[in-house]
Structure 1
Amino acid sequence: MKNFRIIICLLITTCFFQGECLAQKPKKSKFKALVLYENGGHHLPFTKAAKPWLNKLAIDSSFTIDYIENTKTINDALLKKYQVFIQLDYPPYTWSAESMKAFEKYMNNGKGGWIGLHHATLLGEFDGYPMWQWFSDFMGGIRFVDYIPTFAKAQVNLEDKSHPVLKGVPSIFFIEKEEWYVYDKSPRQNVHVLASVDESTYEPVSKIKMGDHPVIWTNEHFATRNVYIFMGHAPELFQNEAYTTLLRNSIFWAAGKK
């Protein structure tokens, strides 16, 4: 009887420790995301708000994030490691020939996903760099022309409510503070527009307009899932539920999880 009790105790102890080990075993990462961000300038407050939000999302949803603050390390070997590449307020210039070539290849191979925010459409000649024509074509053949430096509140209207990145996003929502870039033309003919800004709702009123003004779109001519979201300047965006829902959806859709 005594031996029987000892065996029972050993079994209970073994089960307890095995259960504890299983509980402590980390969850397997669903996918890996690479975030390219600006670590300075007037977009720094947005970056500082975005990183903790992204980190929490990654922990809650069991995926991992790595951050880089310039394009020096971008090459084929690096991009192969990630299922999602988030271009967080980083412009399409200062890239090396190798990093540009690697990114173009990544967008054509269909093995990952891309999300670009705000500064990703600052297309033109800046700081002595020529315009990256491939990236301009990728964004619908546009070139940056102007913006509202004093900022404006505006209404965004969804155009394709059935798209996965817009699930749970209201048909109409407001952005309290944004620069609203103006391009030399609308990208609509070359991309699939998901949402546009209603320029008649600008507060305060601004003469800096472009008419047909898409602000969220995807270029379906590429094998890699991609979505561009213009809004991405003010840190207050992470208090806007419509915006955070859109960004969350975009990450999982780009990763092929939605």
Structure 2
Amino acid sequence: MPKFKVIAFYTGKNDQAHISFLHEANKWFAEQSQQQHFVYDTTSNWNNLNKEFLSKYKVVLFLDTRPEKAEQRKAFEDYMKNGGAWMGFHFAAFALNDSDVKQDWDWYHNEFLGSGEYVSNTWRPTSAILRIENQHPALKNIPKTFTSAPNEWYRWKNDLRKNKNIDILLAIDEKSFPLGTGPKPYEIWHEGYYPVVWTNKSYKMIYFNMGHNDIDYEGGTNKTLSYTFENKTESELTLDALLWLGNH
């Protein structure tokens, strides 16, 4: 008998870096499901985000985007408030009012994730030294600091340290600075506090800012230059987090 069932929602239409991660993640999670004896299903039909469909699954993943329709959003909120579990990556938390992905879902961005609107990011995708900030079962096999896979790192409007419901699990260590290579100066971070993995104690959830592979845009080949799950520590963290959600 499988331990639990996972359903991963994705869109896979925008940004080659996110699409590359999505394909990598689907392959990696499927392999892990065989080894760890859970069921891993995927869907790009966000209309499946409904009560009947979700009732079959212990854990929901958002690999690259979020639901946009009101009925999908309500179904997900109800699922989470009734004991469902969730893991999200990178762009799944993105919202910016001057973009195609507006911050028009307060429960998700301000209460559930706590981060609020996206503010800016580093560029190009680069590795960072990540540091453990709080104890958590997902971190049981993770060293206090480690070097991540290359990623485009996000900065958020809300200070998660001031939210009593949020446990920040990993943040960018100061040894990472300067982080990013530009060419635009504001795409290189020289200081500041940047959470990259966190949970909300009111829900069974974990968010990873990772999920953006490095792509050869400049050379015009659009080839993937880095893979997130080739980083053994990050892979261990993701697996332990999923097993925590599935068995929690």
TM-score by length of 2: 0.83
- Give the corresponding residue for 2:86: 114
- Give the corresponding residue for 2:243: 252
Q: Quick check: 121-130 or 69-78, which moved more?
A: 121-130
Alignment deviations for residues 95-121 of structure 1 (CA, whole Å, 9 cap, x no partner): 2111100000111111x2111111122
CA distance in 2, matches of 1:238, 1:167: 18
- Give the corresponding residue for 1:83: 58
Secondary structure of the residue that 1:120 maps to in structure 2?
A: helix
Match of 1:124 among 96, 110, 115: 96
The structure showing larger relative contact order (alpha-carbon pairs under 8 Å, at least 6 residues apart) is 2
* Matching of residues 47-58 of structure 1 within 5 Å: 47-58=22-33
Match of 2:131 among 139, 157, 167: 157
CA distance in 2, matches of 1:218, 1:134: 15
Alignment deviations for residues 119-150 of structure 1 (CA, whole Å, 9 cap, x no partner): 12202233274521111121114210111232
Say whether the 8 Å CA contact 1:154–1:199 is kept in structure 2.
no
Secondary structure of the residue that 1:29 maps to in structure 2?
A: coil
Q: Does 1:186 align with 2:159?
A: yes
Percent identity reads 31
Aligned residues: 224
Residues 57/229 of structure 1: CA separation in 2 closer, same or farther (3 Å cut): same
* Matching of residues 56-67 of structure 1 within 5 Å: 56-67=31-42
Gaps of 5+ in 1: 1-27
Residues 141/172 of structure 1: CA separation in 2 closer, same or farther (3 Å cut): closer
- Structure having the higher helix fraction is 1
Say whether the 8 Å CA contact 1:33–1:64 is kept in structure 2.
yes
Secondary structure of the residue that 2:52 maps to in structure 1?
A: helix
Gaps of 5+ in 2: 182-186, 214-225
Residues 185/50 of structure 1: CA separation in 2 closer, same or farther (3 Å cut): same
Name the aligned partner's letter for residue 195 of structure 2: P
Alignment deviations for residues 63-85 of structure 1 (CA, whole Å, 9 cap, x no partner): 11111114222111111110011
Cα deviation for residue 210 of structure 1 reads 7.1
Match of 1:239 among 210, 230, 236: 230
* Matching of residues 188-203 of structure 1 within 5 Å: 188-190=161-163, 191-202=166-177, 203=179
Q: Does 1:211 align with 2:185?
A: no
- Give the corresponding residue for 2:139: 166
TM-score by length of 1: 0.80
Name the aligned partner's letter for residue 63 of structure 1: F
Cα deviation for residue 240 of structure 1 reads 0.5
Considering only aligned residues, what root-mean-square deviation do their CA atoms show, in Å? 1.9
CA distance in 2, matches of 1:71, 1:246: 27
Say whether the 8 Å CA contact 1:140–1:188 is kept in structure 2.
no
CA distance in 1, matches of 2:40, 2:71: 23
Q: Which has the larger radius of gyration?
A: 1
